[in-house]
Structure 1
Amino acid sequence: MGKTTDLTAVQRTIIDTLHQEGKTQKEICQKAGCSQSAVSKHIHKKSVGRGKCGRKRCTTKRDDRSLNGIVKKSRFHNLGELQRQWAEAGVQVSKATVHRRVRELGYNSRIPMVKPLLNSKQRKKRLTWAIEKKHWTVAEWSKVLFSDESKFCISFGSQGARVWRKAGEEQNPSCLKSSVKFPQSAMVWGAMSAAGVGPLCFIKSRVNAAVYQEILEHYMLPSAEKLYGDDDFIFQHDLAPAHSAKSTSNWCTDHGITVLDWPANSPDLNPIENLWSIVKKKLKDTRPNSAIELKAAIEASWASITPQQCHRLIASMPRRIDAVIQAKGFPTKY
């Protein structure tokens, strides 16, 4: 014979049905297969119900809506600032209550994603560009040779690797992580298409128009030859000063290179950015300690990128375009 809390859904249904039919508790317990006290408690609980216990909620639904509006307007404010603004709206509560209400509203404190700052003119151009390219197919995007530069450092952020140590070993040399003011780094130019990646160029000086045209001559053209052969292609680069210089435009015209028009501050539209992320993630695993090791690690990681990975990224271009249109030109998740 079970207690009230042990009653199954079937037993509860039998008890309710027989009780409505006017059966006695003794008859009900025999039919339901439980104790008479369990039947009695269940019937009594249904008729009386259990009152709410605990402290009375100190804010109303209207107060909560007011807080929701404050949070939407002040996404980067801390709990103390939210508490002050809510108090100015007439709701005097503790910081702990503010925290609970904010969580109940579905908000969580998170590190914000970093995206390029876009002014209204740039957003409008991104939206116009996306609408123009909306009907491009994956096959058309496969004709585009995407390019970009990226900087790789030996230091990988402030957190880095963890160390196993005991209490009092904070200053043990074997437990310390060395830091330098100016970590060694490498600036790299690369290109990719749906067919794979081209050769990397390690840049050793500041990139002006002349240096960039040398990169195009010795690395972009070989990349196009490797990935497209004699087929036509469209070259993509961003609007960096060296890229948009008049002499660079003349160089492309003289070499018969068709350049894809490109909106400013739009790394989310360039799939090669995802390849840089893949390479940097692999570098965190290898953790090079010198410039030579860094260069070797970058080359090895770049060489390990498969044509299948590249094709999947190119196939994402229609979704990227749709995302820009949905966001009305604002940055997207890509």
Structure 2
Amino acid sequence: MGKTSDLTAVQKTIIDTLHKEGKTQKVIAKEAGCSQSSVSKHINRQAKGRKKCGRKKCTSSRDNRTLQRIVTTNPFKNVGEIHKEWTAAGVSASRTTTRRLMKDMGFRCRIPCVKPLLNMKQRKKRLTWAKDKKDWTDAEWSKVMFSDESKFCISFGNQGPRVWRKSGEAQNPRCMRSSVKFPPSVMVWGAMSSAGVGPLCFLRSRVNAAVYQEVLEHFMLPAADQLYGDADFTFQQDLAPAHSAKTTSTWFKDHGIPVLDWPANSPDLNPIENLWGIVKRRMQYARPNNAEELKTTIRATWALITPEQCHRLIESMPRRITAVIEAKGAPTKY
């Protein structure tokens, strides 16, 4: 009867009751029918609480703060580099412990998002632009025709869907993705508004000011007629050299088309970027064999874009602007 684990539930209840009444351990042991040492151990354990089991931690709170500072200062270091720097600070811990503590702190190893580099001048201009447009309504944004170019390739590298295959089918052509050194690609110009998308233009040569003005003449103007009719609209474009050329500015003035002022390196503010992403995701299972088949696939996928999808993307403009203001001009999640 020397161990508290030998005590029955009834005995433990008796001990707890009599102890609260102020009885001595000798009296309690006699009433409960157990040894005095069992009573003492039970009372002490109840008072102190059960001791924690397991191995004692090898790092202190200060050590953990040092680790968090190392990871936060340079999040692109791998576990080995982080562990080396941490142990150099006088901490004795294994690489496995380092990885586990980083995970406990909430750090996860992920592929980083790629965003355009913004210098301080560009960030200030983005912030100023966002503050200037923060009170625009959905009706005002619906009058804007957003435009952009995008490159489509037959091979999308290592991205795309995974494959379900059985053991030994790794070399089966049905389970393989083809790749070439210089995959055929096409450059596409497109435009959208809250009312839907306009016709696509496949660019055959490098886009200079002259080529871009032909695109505006033969594709942007028909898109404006299709999406706006006789209503007024504002055209959006980025600051590519062909777009900001003096002859291009003259073209817009001659045609009486206002152009929305636009900050540099700001694809996160252009909803058509998300539209290109939708098209490319829908095409990830397609396997065009040449550039012409690729164009056919792009046209067919673009034709499936609904006005509702475009409207939802345009409606995100106030949220994009708020995100830029909160980020003080830095890149956003969009």
For this structure pair, what is the TM-score category when the shorter chain's length is used for normalisation? 0.7 to 0.9
Deviation at 1:101, TM superposition (A): 1.3
What amino acid is the match of 1:50? R
Q: Is the 8 A contact 2:157 2:179 kept in 1?
A: no
Q: In structure 2, the residue corresponding to 1:243 is in which secondary structure? A: helix
Q: Which moved more, 1:81-90 or 1:309-318?
A: 81-90
| Shift in alpha-carbon separation, 1:20–1:205, aligned structure 2, 3 A | farther
Deviation at 1:50, TM superposition (A): 1.6
Deviation at 1:103, TM superposition (A): 1.1
Q: In structure 2, the residue corresponding to 1:284 is in which secondary structure? A: coil
Q: Is there any run of 5+ residues in structure 1 with no aligned partner, and where?
A: 5-13, 23-40
Deviation at 1:325, TM superposition (A): 0.4
| Shift in alpha-carbon separation, 1:172–1:333, aligned structure 2, 3 A | closer
**Could you tell me how far apart the structure 1 residues matched to 2:275 and 2:140 are?**
20
What amino acid is the match of 2:112? P
Count matched residues: 306
**Could you tell me how far apart the structure 1 residues matched to 2:280 and 2:159 are?**
15
**Could you tell me how far apart the structure 2 residues matched to 1:100 and 1:220 are?**
55
**Could you tell me how far apart the structure 1 residues matched to 2:278 and 2:168 are?**
38
Deviation at 1:66, TM superposition (A): 1.2
**Could you tell me how far apart the structure 1 residues matched to 2:311 and 2:97 are?**
50
**Could you tell me how far apart the structure 1 residues matched to 2:121 and 2:248 are?**
25
Other-structure match for 2:296? 296
Other-structure match for 2:61? 61
Q: In structure 2, the residue corresponding to 1:258 is in which secondary structure? A: coil
Other-structure match for 2:269? 269
Query: 1:269-305: CA deviations, max 9, x gaps?
Result: 0000011001001110223232222111111111111
Other-structure match for 2:101? 101
**Could you tell me how far apart the structure 1 residues matched to 2:119 and 2:231 are?**
38
What amino acid is the match of 2:89? A
**Could you tell me how far apart the structure 1 residues matched to 2:301 and 2:219 are?**
18
Q: Is the 8 A contact 2:80 2:95 kept in 1?
A: yes
Deviation at 1:97, TM superposition (A): 1.2
Q: Is there any run of 5+ residues in structure 2 with no aligned partner, and where?
A: 6-12, 22-40
**Could you tell me how far apart the structure 2 residues matched to 1:262 and 1:167 are?**
53
Q: Which moved more, 1:174-183 or 1:184-193?
A: 174-183
What amino acid is the match of 2:300? A
Query: 1:23-49: CA deviations, max 9, x gaps?
Result: xxxxxxxxxxxxxxxxxx999964453
**Higher Cα Rg, which structure:** 2
Give yes or no for the alignment of 1:126 onto 2:161.
Answer: no
- Normalising by structure 2, we get a TM-score of 0.85
Other-structure match for 1:26? none
Q: Is the 8 A contact 2:169 2:175 kept in 1?
A: yes
| Shift in alpha-carbon separation, 1:163–1:327, aligned structure 2, 3 A | closer
Other-structure match for 1:50? 50
Other-structure match for 1:321? 321
1:156-167 alignment runs, 5 A limit: 156-167=156-167
Deviation at 1:165, TM superposition (A): 4.8
Give yes or no for the alignment of 1:79 onto 2:51.
Answer: no
Q: Which moved more, 1:174-183 or 1:100-109?
A: 174-183
Percent identity of the aligned residues?
67
Deviation at 1:112, TM superposition (A): 0.4
1:89-238 alignment runs, 5 A limit: 89-172=89-172, 175-238=175-238
Q: Is the 8 A contact 2:154 2:184 kept in 1?
A: yes
Give yes or no for the alignment of 1:239 onto 2:257.
Answer: no
**Could you tell me how far apart the structure 2 residues matched to 1:325 and 1:16 are?**
66
Other-structure match for 2:28? none
Q: In structure 2, the residue corresponding to 1:152 is in which secondary structure? A: strand
Q: Is the 8 A contact 2:161 2:285 kept in 1?
A: no
| Shift in alpha-carbon separation, 1:218–1:57, aligned structure 2, 3 A | same
**Could you tell me how far apart the structure 1 residues matched to 2:216 and 2:249 are?**
12
What amino acid is the match of 1:112? P
Deviation at 1:235, TM superposition (A): 0.4
Query: 1:54-111: CA deviations, max 9, x gaps?
Result: 1110111111111111111111001111112212322132111111111111111111
Other-structure match for 1:37? none
Deviation at 1:161, TM superposition (A): 4.6
What amino acid is the match of 2:142? S
Question: Over aligned residue pairs, what C-alpha RMSD do you find?
Answer: 2.6
**Could you tell me how far apart the structure 2 residues matched to 1:51 and 1:187 are?**
68
**Could you tell me how far apart the structure 1 residues matched to 2:269 and 2:171 are?**
46
**Could you tell me how far apart the structure 1 residues matched to 2:215 and 2:80 are?**
53
Query: 1:156-176: CA deviations, max 9, x gaps?
Result: 221545445555554455554
**Could you tell me how far apart the structure 1 residues matched to 2:298 and 2:209 are?**
25
